[in-house]
Amino acid sequence: MTSPSAPAEAATAVPAKPAAEAGAGVRFDWAYWLFPGPRRRFSEAEIARSGLKGWSSGIDCYVMSNVLVLGLVFYTMLPRHLAHVILIGGLAMASLGLGVGRWLWRQPTRTRFNGATLALSILMVLITLVMVKLGYRDEARDLLPFAAGGMTLTVSSWWFLTLYRTQQLGARLAELDAQDERIAMAQRLATAQIQPHFLFNTLASLQHWVDTRDDRAGPMLRSLTRYLRATLPMFEQDRLPLEQELQIVRSYLDIMQARLGQRLSWSLDTEAGAGAVIAGASLPPGTLLTLAENAITHGIEPSLRGGHIAVRVKAADGRLRLEVQDGGQGLTPGACDGLGLANTRERLQAQFGPEARLGLEPAPDQAPGCLAWVELPTA
């Protein structure tokens, strides 16, 4: 007896696609075979941005010495009447190949690679025709295998060099793009560090003082206006003049002093002779502000007695040092691992490299609190 489910199964079977339809998506790219090489062309600005080193003279020494050694090793195995020609020709081919290699290294394009390959082919044909014309037909025939081998090795070297350089530049630029994206994200996150609770608490205090007609409302409103006017657009910039950063920190500390009252006092001191350095210095926006916010959040606010915040600017030996020292409760576990400090470190490294440093340590001279500092090159 036939199972009643059999017709249903047969009816739902999916017919196989015709072979022509199945292979319709496969496309053979003739252009790649007729004109091989990387399709991407790097601009001069992209190559300069990559920061990769140029052609090393050590490559020239390595290749030429190897060609010379191989030529001397096989010199006695070559036909006597052709040995010196092959040795000199090998050195000439290596020198030509290295020259073209430097040219391709500077701009690894398929146009350059194919142009160099075509030029080498024409050169080899012309040399062969000249030898035949001068009566060296047998010598030309004997040299043909060596010339073909040398040409194949040279073109293959150009091919791999072009591909390697293209991938190297592409990978480096992709790495820089990702780094720029991380920095942009860090800047957006830093913008978010105009913390909601800071604004809410400040506005709540301001509203209370306005309702009670407290004389502190006017100065605090002016400080808050200066602070917001400066901080809202500042993270759209890559760098901010240090003078503007100091003004933002002043406005922030004015607001916090109005809110915390006698629990907070602060000072901003500039080392004698550092005025010229400050006038020309710039740094990632929010760098010093982040240190001041951390001093308030982790040092002053948790302490019942409050404390003093000292902001100091120093310059010596071609370096700028910014310090924020609080007299609060001192370093706490995880104080160095905050998102704000991590973003600040990354932005400092991106702009100044390893010469920029950021650190947290206990306050000196056994004083209570914590010392946060940033060191930057002034040049």
- Confirm if 281 and 313 have CB atoms less than 8 A apart: no
In order of 230, 268, 296, 310, 356, the CA distances from 360 in angstroms are 26, 19, 14, 15, 14
> Residues 2-55: pLDDT tens digits?
444 444 433 444 444 444 444 445 566 666 677 788 888 898 889 888 888 888
Place of tokens 């400040």: 202
Could you count the other beta carbons within 10 Å of the beta carbon of residue 67? Answer: 20
* Close Cβ partners of 376 (under 8 Å, ≥ 6 residues apart): 281, 283, 319, 320, 321, 322, 348, 352, 355, 356
The DSSP result for 97-149, as a single string, is: HHHHHHHHHHS--HHHHHHHHHHHHHHHHHHHHHHHHTT-HHHHHHHHHHHHH
Per DSSP, helices labelled H in the chain are 5-11, 19-22, 30-34, 44-50, 57-73, 80-106, 110-133, 137-191, 196-211, 217-234, 242-260, 275-280, 287-294, 339-352
Q: Is 12 helix (H, G, I), strand (E, B) or coil?
A: coil
Predicted local distance difference test score (pLDDT) of residue 336: 57
Distance CA 293, CA 176 (A): 30
**Residue 304: closest CA among 242, 244, 352, 368:** 368
Intervals of the chain under pLDDT 50: 1-24
Name the token pair of 281: 């210095």
Predicted local distance difference test score (pLDDT) of residue 308: 94
Predicted local distance difference test score (pLDDT) of residue 77: 72
Task: Just give the CATH number of 192-377.
Answer: 3.30.565.10
Angle between helix 339-352 and helix 287-294 axes, rounded to 10 deg: 160
Distance CA 298, CA 51 (A): 40
Predicted local distance difference test score (pLDDT) of residue 119: 93
Write 270-274 long-range contacts (CB < 8 A, 24+): 270/312, 270/313, 271/312, 271/313, 271/314, 271/315, 273/315, 274/313, 274/314, 274/315, 274/320
DSSP state of 317: T
Predicted local distance difference test score (pLDDT) of residue 20: 43
Distance CA 327, CA 337 (A): 20
The DSSP result for 59-88, as a single string, is: HHHHHHHHHHHHHHHSGGGS-HHHHHHHHH
Predicted local distance difference test score (pLDDT) of residue 192: 54
- Confirm if 155 and 316 have CB atoms less than 8 A apart: no
